[in-house]
């Protein structure tokens, strides 16, 4: 039976955290054979003890993308905007949790109130600059704020200074439609930006992830061979 996505994510991130540390400390290089990496893992006394010390980040963003496309197909633009903002919040929280827990060594009890007290606007402005010492891309920031404003408009009935008698439902519908239809592009741009940040923050992550994929692939092939032999 194929393990669920969250289980594969847990295994991959757990392996990767060790392999990244091996690469950073020079215990292995990117050219070492996979057997050497597996041998280090199996002989590492910390390998079975560190479950409580590592934060595993699991989100459901891939499912959200599929759901957004489905809602757009059926012209459910309000729902698509809601899901788009959910995707944005998942992605930003995943990014912050990964860095703050595994680089800044913040505990869950420190992380939870910090992320709750800072909304999406703060996570792409002040909090982002304070954490990473660079500005969030202005155009991407503006696009995210547009999605957020649209979502809040019909979720909380916040139409920002427009008197109730002047609210034009047709204009709101057309505006929501436009924002919903462009949201997949905004989400792709967010993914690409966060990926570029990861490359800068974790220079060994791509190498570590390739090694993890090779290990997991080897384990899966080995299980299949054992099953065939039974």
**Domain boundary assignment for the chain:** 75-201
Rounded Cα gap, residues 230 and 224, in angstroms: 10
Mean pLDDT check: name the lowest of 84-93, 95-104, 148-157: 148-157
Alpha-carbon distances of 33 from 17, 28, 36, 219, rounded to whole Å: 18, 9, 6, 15
Residues 6+ apart with CB under 8 A from 85: 120, 147, 148, 151
Residues 6+ apart with CB under 8 A from 186: 84, 88, 140, 143, 144, 147
Judged against a pLDDT cut of 50, whether residue 7 lies above it is answered with no
Judged against a pLDDT cut of 50, whether residue 75 lies above it is answered with yes
Judged against a pLDDT cut of 70, whether residue 47 lies above it is answered with no
Rounded Cα gap, residues 98 and 54, in angstroms: 10
**pTM, 2 dp:** 0.71
Judged against a pLDDT cut of 60, whether residue 106 lies above it is answered with yes
Rounded Cα gap, residues 224 and 14, in angstroms: 23
């Amino acid at each position: 039976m194929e393990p669920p996505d969250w289980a594969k994510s847990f295994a991959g991130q757990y392996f990767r955290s060790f392999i990244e540390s091996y690469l950073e400390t020079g215990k292995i290089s990117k050219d070492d054979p996979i057997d050497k990496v597996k041998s280090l893992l199996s002989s590492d006394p910390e390998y079975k003890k560190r479950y409580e010390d590592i934060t595993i980040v699991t989100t459901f963003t891939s499912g959200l993308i599929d759901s957004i496309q489905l809602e757009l197909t059926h012209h459910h633009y309000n729902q698509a905007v809601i899901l788009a903002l959910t995707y944005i919040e998942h992605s930003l929280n995943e990014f912050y949790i990964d860095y703050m827990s595994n680089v800044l060594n913040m505990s869950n009890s420190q992380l939870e109130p910090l992320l709750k007290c800072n909304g999406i606007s703060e996570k792409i402005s002040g909090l982002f600059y304070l954490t990473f010492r660079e500005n969030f891309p202005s155009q991407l920031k503006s696009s995210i704020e547009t999605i957020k404003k649209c979502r809040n408009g019909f979720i909380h009935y916040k139409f920002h200074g427009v008197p109730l008698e002047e609210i034009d439902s047709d204009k709101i519908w057309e505006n929501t439609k436009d924002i919903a239809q462009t949201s997949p592009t905004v989400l792709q741009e967010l993914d690409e930006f966060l990926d570029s940040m990861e490359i800068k923050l974790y220079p060994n992550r791509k190498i570590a992830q390739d090694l993890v994929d090779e290990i997991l692939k080897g384990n899966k092939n080995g299980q299949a061979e054992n099953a065939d032999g039974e």
